[in-house]
Amino acid sequence: MTATAHTAAHSHPPVSVQPEEESRRDFLILATGAVSAVGVAGAAWPFIQSWSPSADVLSQATTEVDVSALGKGQMITVPWQGKPVFILHRTDDQIASARKGDAEKLPDPAMDKDRAQKPEYLVLLAICTHLGCVPQPIGSGNFGGFLCPCHGSHYDTSGRIRQGPAPKNLEVPHYVFKDEKILVIGKAVG
């Protein structure tokens, strides 16, 4: 008896769901889900963006360097946006060697004249295109150029990849000669 009473107390009259009602409910569930997803994405955006470079980091866009004191064959490393940049005053041999490389079969083909605005100055972002180590100074690698010590990538006197795991040539940053002496690396932003 108690069992029957129990069942009776909890049984509901059968609810007949009309097909329209069902699709209405589906729509409401979908719409709620979609709005929630957009809401969560929107709320996440400021958190994600907070990881991107901040204004003070972006403001370090350019570096000016006086290259007049740099003798033939000398190289300096200057910081630009926290990254090292090699400025090499190339010797005639180094230029000749780079020009000779133009004709070789290169992993990442590029002409030396497109990589150096003035043939005697080679400006390179000193970050190995493999995994971001700083290559060693000029003369350290095969082909008379730069050797990345981390995984053995060899770059030539034009900063082109010639041997090893790096996929691309050393990047040439945007630069201009403001005058005969002053080299400006980078572009002002904002």
Partner 1 sequence: MVFKSIMEWVDARLPITDLIKSQATEYPTPKNLNYWWNFGSLALFCLIIMLLTGLFLAMHYKPDANLAFDAVEHIMRDVNYGWLLRYLHANGATFFFMTVYIHILRGMYYGSHRAPREILWWIGIIIFFLLMATAFMGYVLPWGQMSYWGAAVITNLMSAIPVIGEELVIWIWGGFAVGDPTLNRFFALHFLLPFVIFGVVIVHLWALHAVHSNNPDGIDIDEHKDAIPFHPYFTVKDLYGVGVFLIVYCAFVFFLPNFFMEPDNYIPANPMQTPAHIVPEWYFLPFYAVLRSIDFLGSYSKLVGVIAMVAAIGILFILPFLDRSPVRSFRYRPLSKQLFWIFVIDCFLLGWVGYNPADATRFNGALPLIVVGRTCTAIYFGYFALLWIITAFDIEKPKPVPKSL
Q: Residue 117's closest CA among 68, 188, 183, 169?
A: 183
Q: Is 139 in the site for partner 1 (CB under 8 A)?
A: no
Cβ closest to partner 1, residue 119 vs residue 165:
165
Residue 142 DSSP code: G
Residue 86 DSSP code: E
**Distance (Å, whole) CA 132 – CA 114:** 23
Interface residue with partner 1 among 149, 174, 176, 181 (CB under 8 A) is: 149
Q: Is 81 in the site for partner 1 (CB under 8 A)?
A: yes
Q: Is 57 in the site for partner 1 (CB under 8 A)?
A: yes
Q: Which amino acid is at 4?
A: T
Between the CA of residue 88 and those of 60, 73, 75, 134, what are the distances in Å?
22, 7, 4, 15
For the question of residue 10 being annotated catalytic, the response is no
Q: Is 44 in the site for partner 1 (CB under 8 A)?
A: no
* 67 neighbors 180 (Cβ within 8 angstroms): no
Interface residue with partner 1 among 99, 111, 165, 184 (CB under 8 A) is: 165
Give the number of residues in contact with partner 1, rule: CB under 8 A: 32
Interface residue with partner 1 among 54, 179, 188, 189 (CB under 8 A) is: 54
CB of 149 to partner 1, least distance (A): 5
Q: Is 99 in the site for partner 1 (CB under 8 A)?
A: no
Interface residue with partner 1 among 53, 104, 118, 176 (CB under 8 A) is: 53
End-to-end CA distance of the chain: 82
Between the CA of residue 150 and those of 99, 117, 136, 139, 145, what are the distances in Å?
27, 29, 10, 17, 16
Residues with catalytic annotation?
151
Q: Interface with partner 1 by CB under 8 A: which residues?
A: 48, 51-54, 57, 77, 79, 81-84, 107-108, 127, 130-136, 148-152, 164-168
